[in-house]
Structure 1
Amino acid sequence: MNSIKTQMRKSRPLAALLASGATLAMAILAYASSSTQIEQLAPLATPRTMHTATVLADGNVLITGGRDAAGAVIADAEIFDSKTRTSKAIGSLLTARTGHTATLLKDGRVLVAGGMNATGTLASVEVFEPLAPASGFHALSEEMKASRTRHTATLLQDGKVLIAGGDLVGTAEIFDPATDTFSITLLNMAERRSGHTATRFSENLVLLAGGQSDSMEMFNAADQTFTLDHNG
């Protein structure tokens, strides 16, 4: 069962929204407690798989893109309301995409980056402003330096975003939300990765693991370098 689990910040502690699955439109809410509870919810506004689900500052969840039941890449977006436990369509991405990332920034916006569709791998980026959902998604004037899909986008301590992997040669770049720009030059990763994980576990360190490899590497935000973990 393909699913996306998103921890809810409000409602009950350690609640997770599981969306997608065999029917593509199923949504359930699971509560982690002394006695596990699973609640069947109303269907998604748009059946989908391989989408993103991002918890917003108000506890609601932004769901974007993915593939429909026929396998076509879609641009549909919707918001799951954590209070009413229903999902409502809010319009469309500017570009249909799957295999993309959707990262909550410290200023409350959501950065939607990369992915792929029928035209190929994407370098385009768009942002969503939760305070003005009716205005939809807006394209940034600057694209990523490299086209990427199945990459990672990790929020750093200083509010910038590390976008890593998902390309052919194994590079990364930094997005600065203060200027809505990307680093001038690409950073070289220790290894090429796609479909990996990237986890920030301290102020400056991000662990990147797997992705067509059994290796791990560390990104140090202080000097913007990648180092293989030979103890992994």
Structure 2
Amino acid sequence: MRNKRNHARHPIVLILAVAGLIGGTTVFLPSAGLAIAQAAGPSWTVTGSLGTARYGHTATLLPNGKVLVVGGWGFGYLDFKGSAELYDPTTGIWSHTGSLNTPRYAHTATLLPNRNVLVAGGWGGTSSLKSAELYDPATGQWTMTGSLIAARNSHTATLLTNGKVLVVGGDSSNAPVNTAELYDAATGTWSGTDTPRTISGRHSTAVMLPNGKVLATGNSLCSNAAELYDPVTEKWSVTNPPHTFGCADTATLLPNGKVLVTISRFVGSISADLYDPTTQGWSAGGMLNRFHGGAYTATLLRSGQILVAGGNYDQSYKEADVYDPRTATWNPTSSLNDRRGYHTATLLPNGRVLVAGGADGDFDIDYTTLSSAELFDLTPGSNPINETQFFVRQQYLDFLNREPDQSGWDFWMNEITSCGADQQCIEVKRISVSAAYFLSIEFQQTGYLAYRM
């Protein structure tokens, strides 16, 4: 859906760009948007509240732009939620949709290539779950699918390039699970795969790399473990571990192909390590300005930056920090309106981040389950295409339908940033960059026919 929507914007600009390059004529685009980008700073605004207060739920962006929130925990020992809701960014309103067959908390939700959503495992009140269900956005209904081999909650689920879903780790009735398994959407069944050597339990992360392999980090012991899963051979291999000892909380794939892993340290702080798939080495990713405990979210913004928000450790937090990959530094940003942990954060098509639900308080004493939701806007009123990182990444996504490779990313970023603050130079460079992608062999061989049609 993204490519169909964005391609329609390119023809006039690209024709002008090519004409300018071939004819030797300098072509300038309107620069009104550049001034808007400086209009205001980051902000949080309240949006419509969930119909049901919940935490430990999942949130999935659907192809139609709506957000599906599923399950979670309310308040009380057995108050597990089976309900599901849809958020409409155009109206800011939530509406109920079909309910799960089995209420669950600490499950996973994965958008499949056929546009259905796979919900797997979780905690069902007295034990971990094996069951899995499929949500059909066209009907708003849930149907049962094949069950997991091992019951688990707080695990990871990663969509592979072959369309299968890799589930790893998690807990089963408070005991760590170290196995992995694959879901085949074509057959609706699960099959076992190679067992990781060091990845297990709830304190682990998993993210697919540009080469199709999956990087998994962390385990129930909060040691600095890391392994790579190869979907072709269905085998795990140990890779270099992060520098920082602690609990792996989040892992985010950056536009340059590196992975930023945030790690809660035992000294009451959070550090980040950067993994480079080309060298299988790690480098320092800086320390967050504020303590978020655990149960916070990390969201890749359209600018290429990462937003960390909220969290919980003996109390809930409203602080937020933004990571800038250009400088490998963290900067504090506007705080949430509500303190919250165990919430969800979803990047919307309009570039805003929807934060929904969660809990506020000390879980050992007293807490409040939240129904509130709010929106984060990095640059209110601006067009994200004015940001160089977003612009370059969008060329890859729109023309080549893939994430940037490291060498190409570095080259095109340098082409534009070499202009410094010269806006006229930046505009000319941007036109030239778009024209280069349009004329590239990769685009001509893969996308040109569809583009002409």
Shorter-chain TM-score category?
Answer: 0.7 to 0.9
Structure 2 partner of 1:78: 85
Q: TM-score, normalised by structure 2?
A: 0.42
Structure 1 partner of 2:214: 206
For 2:239, which of 220, 223, 229 is the aligned residue? 229
| CA drift at 1:177 | 0.8
Specify the SS of the correspondent of 2:227: strand
Structure 1 residues 169 and 197: CA distance shift in structure 2, 3 A? closer
Structure 1 residues 39 and 94: CA distance shift in structure 2, 3 A? same
In 1: Cα distance, 2:102 partner to 2:158 partner: 22
Give me the identity figure in percent: 36
Counterpart of 1:115 in structure 2: which amino acid?
A: G
In 2: Cα distance, 1:85 partner to 1:203 partner: 37
In 1: Cα distance, 2:90 partner to 2:219 partner: 36
Structure 2 partner of 1:51: 57
In 2: Cα distance, 1:166 partner to 1:104 partner: 20
In 1: Cα distance, 2:85 partner to 2:219 partner: 29
Q: For residues 5-58 of structure 1, give each alpha carbon's deviation from its aligned partner in whole angstroms, at most 9, with x where no partner exists.
A: xxxx8xxxxxxxxxxxxxxxxxxxxxxx76323221121111001100011111
Specify the SS of the correspondent of 1:121: coil
Please tell me whether the aligned partners of residues 145 and 186 of structure 1 are also in contact (alpha carbons under 8 angstroms): no
In 2: Cα distance, 1:203 partner to 1:137 partner: 33
Unaligned runs of 5+ in 2: 3-36, 243-453
Q: Once superposed, which parts of structure 1, at least 4 consecutive aligned residues long, lie more than 3 Å away?
A: none
Q: TM-score, normalised by structure 1?
A: 0.80
Count residues in correspondence. 197
* 2:142 maps to 1:137: yes
Counterpart of 2:184 in structure 1: which amino acid?
A: D
In 1: Cα distance, 2:72 partner to 2:203 partner: 15
Specify the SS of the correspondent of 2:137: coil
In 1: Cα distance, 2:103 partner to 2:49 partner: 21
Counterpart of 2:143 in structure 1: which amino acid?
A: H
| CA drift at 1:180 | 1.0
Structure 2 partner of 1:111: 118
* 2:161 maps to 1:157: yes
Mean Cα deviation higher: 222-231 or 42-51: 222-231
Q: For residues 132-169 of structure 1, give each alpha carbon's deviation from its aligned partner in whole angstroms, at most 9, with x where no partner exists.
A: 11xx21111x2111101000110111111101111434
Specify the SS of the correspondent of 2:98: strand
Cα RMSD after superposing both structures: 1.7
How do 1:27-46 and structure 2 match up within 5 A? 35-46=41-52
Counterpart of 1:70 in structure 2: which amino acid?
A: G
Counterpart of 1:156 in structure 2: which amino acid?
A: L
* 2:227 maps to 1:217: yes
Q: For residues 147-196 of structure 1, give each alpha carbon's deviation from its aligned partner in whole angstroms, at most 9, with x where no partner exists.
A: 0100011011111110111143400011111111111x343112223231
Please tell me whether the aligned partners of residues 157 and 203 of structure 1 are also in contact (alpha carbons under 8 angstroms): no
Counterpart of 2:51 in structure 1: which amino acid?
A: A
In 1: Cα distance, 2:117 partner to 2:126 partner: 24
For 1:65, which of 63, 71, 90 is the aligned residue? 71
Structure 2 partner of 1:24: none
Structure 1 partner of 2:274: none
Please tell me whether the aligned partners of residues 204 and 222 of structure 1 are also in contact (alpha carbons under 8 angstroms): no
Which is higher, the Rg of structure 1 or of structure 2? 2
Unaligned runs of 5+ in 1: 1-8, 10-32
How do 1:162-201 and structure 2 match up within 5 A? 162-167=166-171, 168-183=176-191, 185-191=192-198, 192-201=200-209
In 2: Cα distance, 1:101 partner to 1:197 partner: 12
Structure 2 partner of 1:6: none
Q: For residues 86-133 of structure 1, give each alpha carbon's deviation from its aligned partner in whole angstroms, at most 9, with x where no partner exists.
A: 111113111010010010001000000000122300000000000111
| CA drift at 1:76 | 1.2
Counterpart of 2:232 in structure 1: which amino acid?
A: A
Specify the SS of the correspondent of 1:117: coil
In 1: Cα distance, 2:117 partner to 2:170 partner: 20
In 1: Cα distance, 2:46 partner to 2:177 partner: 43
Counterpart of 1:179 in structure 2: which amino acid?
A: T
| CA drift at 1:70 | 3.4
In 1: Cα distance, 2:75 partner to 2:137 partner: 28
